[in-house]
Amino acid sequence: MAKLMNVDNPNNTSKEDTLELQFVSEHALSIPTFKMLDENGELYKGAMASSMDKETAIRIYETMRFIRVFDERMLAAQRQGRISFYMQCLGEEAAVTASAAALEDQDMIFAQYREQAALAYRGFSLEQFMHQNFSNAKDLGKGRQMPIHYGSKELNYCTISSPLGTQIPQAAGYAYGQKLKGNKATTICYFGEGAASEGDFHAGLNMAAVHKAPVLFFARNNGYAISTPAHEQFKGDGIAVRGVGYGMKSIRVDGVDALAVFEAVKMAREYAVENNEPVLIESIAYRLAAHSSSDDPTGYREKAEEDTFRANCPIERFRKFMLKQGWLDEAEDEKAKERIKTEVLDALKASEKVEKPALEEIVTDVYAEVPEHLQKQYDQLKEHIKKYPEAYPGTSGRLGESN
């Protein structure tokens, strides 16, 4: 049965009238940035008390420390030609890790491509990261994706899609499904401020608001959409105000402050699950690294700008907080960094020696039986590789009789 229209207010707008002719200013709504921890690792005077316990804080710190080392090593591997592509989380480790820490294990994650720290916090192993980046036979995606396009059904982390912003309406739909099933869970959807200019952003937020889907839209405002600075991307007060326009709760948080991110996402999760409503969270940070290993930021920003934000390191800020709490030993911390470097390098060397997936797996897994048209394409591909083996040195040598 169709829902009845509200005959008193079919336009679903405010019924307040005015006889005064004037525009509403584009700055009529300005959202402050929620903070807790200053650059010295101290709580701001008057800041709320943190609810983060020692165990969670240690896990967040260890994840950020691991991702910093892992990113550095994998970018070097890309420069050496050992992997084809890479994207770093540099500068946004606190935003991604602390937001993931505020979730429950049953909550779903839809990432964009810079949220490897969220997956690491969930428990994705170093070996699993390596196998994916090398697209080898042990990769969960069987080599079908570019590097850093992770996914894990076991850890409720939806496989990353390359097209920008497509995960936003997907997350809204997934969260709506959680609501229909009566699950006490939410879905978090990460994206950059550049993706907020895509049509998928507006479609996803409107759909989630109208259908009351318990999804957390997490906008990483890191200052740049590849080479385009934020002031050339949009007008108005950032991304958070757009959530208000779509009729949902919104909050802006200091993305360099792990404590603030944790509390903001924790509150947003509780609200979304209890009320079956979406929340928009805008994280303010700075993308210290290049957009990807294919980008050169020296062409569009000054080194002095990077140095300014490099001094505002999210890991260092949280490390100072941990030391003041007595939750971290400085000497042990240094030893741990060296141990992680060794473990990452050893895993890299081992993973690049693992053989590639079997060719026929290119058409398996999607359907219970391989459809006729895919089988035909696979047979044509196989014959093509056999005809021009010199063009496919990594594959032609593995085409045995069974192929």
In the numeric block, which tokens belong to residue 263?
């509390």
Long-range (24+ apart) CB contacts under 8 A made by 344-351 are 344/69, 344/70, 344/73, 344/126, 345/73, 347/126, 347/127, 347/130, 348/73, 348/74, 348/77, 348/82, 348/130, 350/127, 350/130, 351/127, 351/130, 351/131, 351/133, 351/134, 351/136, 351/138
Q: Which of 242, 291, 317, 319 is catalytic?
A: 291
- Strand locations in 65-149, DSSP E? 108-110
Q: Among this protein's residues, is 287 annotated catalytic?
A: yes
Contacts of residue 234, Cβ cutoff 8 Å, sequence gap at least 6: 193, 196, 197
- Is 186 within 8 Å of 272 (Cβ atoms)? yes
- Is 197 within 8 Å of 234 (Cβ atoms)? yes
Bridge partners for 282 per DSSP: 219, 252
Q: Among this protein's residues, is 113 annotated catalytic?
A: no
Q: Among this protein's residues, is 300 annotated catalytic?
A: yes
Residue type at 238 in one-letter notation? G
User: Could you give phi then psi for residue 67, rounded to 5 degrees?
Assistant: -65, -35
Q: Which of 242, 287, 317, 319 is catalytic?
A: 287
Contacts of residue 20, Cβ cutoff 8 Å, sequence gap at least 6: none
Using only the alpha carbons of the chain, give its radius of gyration. Answer: 23
Quote the CA–CA distance of 30 and 211 in Å, as a whole number. Answer: 26
Q: Which of 300, 339, 384, 388 is catalytic?
A: 300
Select from 264, 217, 271 the least CA-distant residue to 98.
Answer: 264
State the catalytic residues: 287, 291, 300
